[in-house]
Each structure stands twice: as C-alpha cells, then as structure tokens.
C-alpha cells in the first residue's frame, strides 16, 4: 500500500468500497443499501450521480430509470417530483446525493459523474457542505474529471479517467505518456477488453507516483485475494460480506 496524499484516503488498511452500496441484492444506490453496508462496518461507499431536469443531484447509475426501477424515462428529462416516485426493485426510493451525505456523516464517497450536467452541482454541493475530505470524484471521461479538479482545486480528491489510466499503464512499461497532475488514485478494472490492467508493474508505477490503486468491481474471493497479494489499496465490490471476510482473514479489516 502507498501512503495517503489526501485526507479522503486516510485509512489504516486496504480500503473496502461498497459498490453502489453493495449491489448484489438488487437495491443498488439506495439509502437502504448504504445503511446495510454501514451496519456491516463499511465506511467507503461508491455511487454515481445524474441531474434531473430541474437540477437535483440524484444518486443513480443509469441514465434511465428503466433497468432497476418500476418507472421509465431519462433522469435528465424528468423533474425530481417524478423521479422521486420511482422505486428500485419496486420498493426503495432513489436518494438525492445530498441526502446521503446527511444520512451517513461518517462515510466517505467515491462519486462517478455520469453526465456533464452533474459536474457543477456536485462541486457546489461539496463546497456548500464542506465535504472536501469525504468525496473523491471520478469519471470515465478524463476531460470531465480534470474540469472538476480545475473548478475545485487541490481540496478535491480525484481519480484518473480512462486517458489517465492509459497514461499510467504506458508509463509502467517505460513508454512516455502525459499524466494529469493532482489525481490521488487510479480506479481501474482488473482487465479491459481482454487486456490486463492491474498487475505488479502497474501497482508499482502508481505507488512510485504516490497514487493509490482501487480496483472495481471484484466479487469473487479468489480475485480479491490475488489483488491484495499485488498490493492494491482498495477494492470495490457488490458482495460486501465476501470482501469483509477476505480482509478479516488477513487481519486487514479496519
């Protein structure tokens, strides 16, 4: 593991992230899911944000309500008064991200900005609630996350987008590549399109640059153990009990 370069990463062992609160049972990104994870001892949660047509910041993964709720439509096209009526798995309401910050004051949040209109409202919310040490902002778009960093400054923890991860991977092979200054971690899949991303070389390069490595989304105990053996700094999982067991067996559940 590498030492923390931002208060968000101040954790004494490998960071366990409850991915969407622990999405295995189908109530992802709901207050109930995050409450269950908190009760299991998790303090790091992963979520996603979209904005409604009237500018409310919703914790939800998909652009549409169709896949996991009993409603239909694009969140960006609907007002909050309609979105709030949707139920995940037919029973759990969608939360505003501000509500989650209030409901879990001791939690730290990894937030994936799913669409450009959510960027400024998220930064404004972090600023208004003084949640600088509680939120790390990520996105597949390096341009989007770089803009978040420019707007907020060094108080905001950010991870690399796809372009940044590619640059880090190239550098791990000794190939020159540009890297954005200011990121505190690389959040990556184990593999992408059949190409291995996380190996000992990648972890070593990230650590040499003071970056933590967080891997998503890992649900099998054997894969968790292999990644821990490589020295990764965080694992995101849908199966929160499995990850807790693996870390506990290693004396790494903090």
Question: Annotated catalytic sites, by residue?
Answer: 19, 61
Specify whether the CB–CB gap between 10 and 243 falls below 8 A: no
d(CA 26, CA 79): 24
Residue 23 has phi, psi (to 5 degrees) of -85, 5
Using alpha carbons, select from 213, 184, 192 the residue that is nearest to residue 201: 213
With tokens 């929160």, the residue in question is 240
Whether 47 and 21 have beta carbons less than 8 Å apart is answered as: yes
Cβ atoms of 110 and 17 within 8 Å: the answer is: yes
**In the structure encoding, which two tokens stand for residue 235, read together?**
């694992």
Helix, strand, coil % (nearest 5) of the chain?
A: 35, 20, 40
Asked if residues 45 and 108 have their Cβ atoms less than 8 Å apart, the reply is yes
CA angle 162, 168, 170 (to 5 degrees): 105
> Running DSSP on this structure, what letter comes out for residue 1?
-
């Amino acid at each position: 593991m590498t030492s923390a370069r931002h208060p968000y990463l101040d954790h004494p062992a490998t960071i366990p992230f409850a991915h969407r609160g622990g999405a295995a049972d189908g109530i992802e990104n709901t207050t109930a899911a995050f409450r269950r994870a908190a009760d299991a001892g998790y303090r790091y949660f992963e979520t996603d944000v979209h904005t409604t047509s009237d500018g409310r910041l919703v914790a939800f993964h998909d652009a549409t309500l169709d896949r996991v709720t009993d409603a239909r439509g694009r969140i960006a096209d609907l007002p909050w008064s309609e979105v709030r009526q949707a139920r995940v798995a037919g029973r759990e309401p969608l939360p505003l991200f501000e509500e989650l910050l209030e409901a879990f004051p001791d939690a730290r949040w990894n937030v994936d900005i799913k669409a450009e209109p959510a960027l400024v409202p998220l930064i404004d919310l972090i600023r208004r609630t003084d949640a600088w040490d509680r939120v790390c902002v990520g996105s597949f778009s390096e341009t989007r996350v770089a803009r978040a960093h420019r707007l907020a400054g060094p108080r905001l923890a950010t991870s690399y987008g796809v372009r940044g991860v590619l640059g880090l991977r190239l550098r791990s092979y000794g190939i020159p590549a540009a890297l954005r200054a200011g990121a505190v971690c690389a959040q990556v899949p184990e593999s992408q399109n059949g190409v291995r991303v996380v190996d000992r070389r990648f972890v070593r390069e990230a650590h040499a640059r003071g970056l933590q490595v967080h891997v998503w989304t890992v649900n099998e105990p054997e894969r968790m153990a292999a990644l821990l053996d490589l020295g990764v700094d965080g694992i995101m999982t849908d199966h929160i009990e499995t990850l807790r067991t693996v870390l506990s067996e290693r004396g790494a559940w903090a």
